[in-house]
Amino acid sequence: MGRNETHLIQRFSQYENSSYFHLVVGDVTKPLTTALQTDYVINAASNTHPRAYASDPIGTIMTNLMGTEQILKHAVRHRPQRILFLSSVEIYGENRGDVDQFDENYSGYINPNTLRAGYPEGKRVSEALCQAYIESYNLNIVIPRLSRVFGPSMKLNDSKASSQFILKAVHKENIVLKSQGTQYYSYSYVGDVVSALLFLLVNGQKGEAYNIANSNLNLHLKDFANELATMFGKKVVYDLPDDIEAAGYSKVTKALLDTKKINDLGWTAPFDRARSLQHTVEILRSELNKN
């Protein structure tokens, strides 16, 4: 389901004519059609890149909050087997310096009186709304908290630093770093995330949150850039972001996820670092060459 039919068809063109695949055009912030019958729901609707946080701050908050509310209202009527609400590493805020990695019980600092707070606070209140619906209507909801995700499914206008690095590699250009690159983050390849989501649909515990990350992809931003540059025979150059980009950037300098909770259930990330980066660039190049 999505708002833009053209984008949906472009994204899922290889499945469009399959009998088991159906596209639904609609705005998740509006009441969902009662004709939409669901067994499992994965709520991934959200702005997810810095330029959108700054240029569409209301949409960033309300897609999470109102979109989640409409999905949960629909679920009360139709009782799906399970709902996944996709949350984010950003709900943890800034590391207070008291832990190396965030487990699911950690709570760091977020200044709510800023434009940039809209995304993490939108995720936080949506998680709380999920808990309210579990208590009030006994819905079966699990909350995956995603690390920073990359992969060939990214939008070409994605302004996240990692996405910009990847696009430069795709176009065989030097990698542009718009900071000193000392930020230290957990990342996941999109294939790792899909694997984890399917795993949690079956094995997650109702009402629980689970960190999703690939421990082989705990990287300083400059190392992410350098690995891509080395892999594809380019170099890293430094440049400053424009004002809109800068306004949407996270101020968090270290955000590593502890994945022990999901690992103890039996899940491990299936993709290694080199394969993840290589797959991403090669698949995107192939797709762009088709056009």
Listed by start position, the domains of the chain span 31-290
**pLDDT > 90 in the chain, percent:** 76
Q: Residue with structure tokens 């250009």?
A: 173
Q: At 265, list the tokens.
A: 């259930």
49, pLDDT greater than 90:
no
> Rounded CA gap, 86 and 249, in Å?
20
Beta-strand pair 184-189/218-220? antiparallel
Q: State the angle between helix axes of 57-78 and 118-137 in degrees (0 to 180), rounded to the nearest 10.
A: 10
- According to the model, what pLDDT value does residue 116 have? 92
Report pLDDT digits (tens) over 178-221.
888 999 999 999 999 999 999 999 999 999 999 999 999 999 99
> Rounded CA gap, 49 and 59, in Å?
12
Secondary-structure class of domain 31-290 per CATH? alpha beta
- According to the model, what pLDDT value does residue 51 have? 83
pTM score, whole prediction: 0.93
Report yes or no: 274 and 183 within 8 Å, Cβ to Cβ: no
Q: What is the mean pLDDT of residues 163-176?
A: 96
Q: Which amino acid is at 79?
A: R
Which of 212, 195, 85 lies closest to 140 in space, CA to CA? 85
Q: Which amino acid is at 2?
A: G
Residue 188: alpha-carbon gap to chain centroid? 9
245, pLDDT greater than 70:
no
Report pLDDT digits (tens) over 82-129.
999 999 999 999 999 999 999 999 999 999 999 999 999 999 999 999
Identify the bridge partners of residue 142 per DSSP, sorted by sequence position.
84
* Average model confidence (pLDDT) across the chain: 94
- According to the model, what pLDDT value does residue 276 have? 97
240, pLDDT greater than 80:
no
